[in-house]
Amino acid sequence: MPSEIKYARNGDVSIAYQVLGDGPIDIIYVPPFVSNLELQWQEPQQARYLQRLASFSRLLMFDKRGTGLSDRTGIATLEERMDDVRAVMDAVGLERGVVFGTSEGGAMSLLFTVTYPERVQALILYGAYARQVAAPDYPEGISPEIAKDRKEALRTRWGQGIMASVMAPERVADPAFLEQQARWERLSASPGAVVALYQMICEIDVRHLLNAVRVPTLILHREGDPIHAPQSRFLGRHIPGARMVELPGKEYYPFFGDQDALFGEIEEFLTGTRSRSEVDRVLATVLFTDIIDSTRRAVELGDQKWRELLVRHHTLIRDELKRFRGREIDTAGDGFFAAFDGPARAIRAAVAIVGKLLKLGIRVRAGIHTGECDVMDNKLSGVAVHTGARVAALAGPGEVLVSSTVKDLVAGSGLRFGDRGRHELKGIPGAWLLYSVIIDG
């Protein structure tokens, strides 16, 4: 954790808060319905997200009453929870700042903005809503039936990673992420508190406040988010003068996906400029793998056995990456993205992975390409990365497919290849010669 956690008092209730950064803009970050100031620093991408936000601001974060490190009181009304924002601001001597509300925190932020307009410099809403459940005059919400099912799921499956399916649907097949999500749930709120809180969320309706917002407002959401995007668009249509930006992606969690696009919009909205990303360029060999027919296998095995199989899959790949000096860049579900400083090591790692996973009954495909990549915060991006992913998509079961660039670079290594012909790679200019690594046996 980068700074000390302290407590503000609101009557008899203690609210945990933390301050990060010393920039010229004060941002009060109002979290989603459950948060945890300590655990948020244990997820690397979430930590990076908060550090980026604090790079141009003084960031004030807190856990809402009943959750995280704040007093585990009974779930209070929206008005009482909104007043905790005032208490935290008073505790750090903050008279006025930018209120940044996410998901359910958006309703609190709207109420605070209208109640204390003299204390709000600007309003940012990410994946937020004025009302959660649909009504005859509000088709943007989720149906009452879905709300009822979700409440029951929270009651029976809280602490098992239940929120991943809603907040990060593209990562639900990743056992490591699911375990991390489950631990966050268990340590952030009790099942009873979550059910009571969700019941309150289903009753929230602050649509009548939207026309009263009189501060500059930025509304953000991921365009493919099926729950928050329609509700966020409703805010954009009804808050006077609001600027609405749709970001690419499906997941709600703002720290996944393209953080640079998100922060570019926020920083430009608050400062009028965007910081230039610190990007280096390096030559790297990228390796992509994924499991063949993963959806069918998951259905056949069932959730528990599929998760166990993925744990073995992940462990084996990480062992081989370590053995061949590869570096894991990202993993989502059943796919791996790794980088190597030499193409021959990448090929040998891929061959070992394909062969050893086959012994576990797991068939994978692999694709390799070498090219210049952009490097920022230990992540790789650029055309070379996209090319590697496209090569992998064309590989067959148990096949290691490489670009002609890779084949040419490993001349004299003793590796052998079969010609797979010339191919168009989606989104990549030109036609590409591809080669299949000949695997003995």
Q: What is the pLDDT of residue 433?
A: 94
Q: Which of 81-85, 160-164, 176-180, 218-222 has the lowest mean pLDDT?
A: 176-180
| Residue whose token pair is 């908060």 | 50
CA distances from 363 to 71, 250, 317, 346 (A): 49, 27, 13, 18
pLDDT at 41: 87
The pLDDT-based confidence of 280 (bands split at 50, 70, 90) is low
The answer to whether 145 touches 240, Cβ cutoff 8 Å, is no
> E-strand spans in 225-363?
243-247, 280-291, 327-332, 335-340
pTM, rounded to two decimals: 0.67
Q: Is 266 helix (H, G, I), strand (E, B) or coil?
A: helix
At residue 272 the predicted structure's pLDDT band, cuts being 50, 70 and 90, is: confident
> What's the farthest any 2 CA atoms get from each other in the chain?
75
Cβ contacts of 404 within 8 Å, gap of 6 or more = 432, 433, 434, 435
Residue 412: per-residue pLDDT? 84
pLDDT of res. 428: 84
Q: Which domains does the chain have, with CATH numbers?
A: 5-271 (3.40.50.1820), 280-437 (3.30.70.1230)
pLDDT recorded at residue 344: 93
Q: What is the pLDDT of residues 390-440, one digit of tens each?
A: 999 999 999 999 999 999 999 888 899 999 999 999 878 888 999 999 987
Average pLDDT, the chain: 91
Where are the alpha helices (H) located in 92-142, listed in sequence order? 105-115
Query: What is the total residue count of the chain?
Result: 441
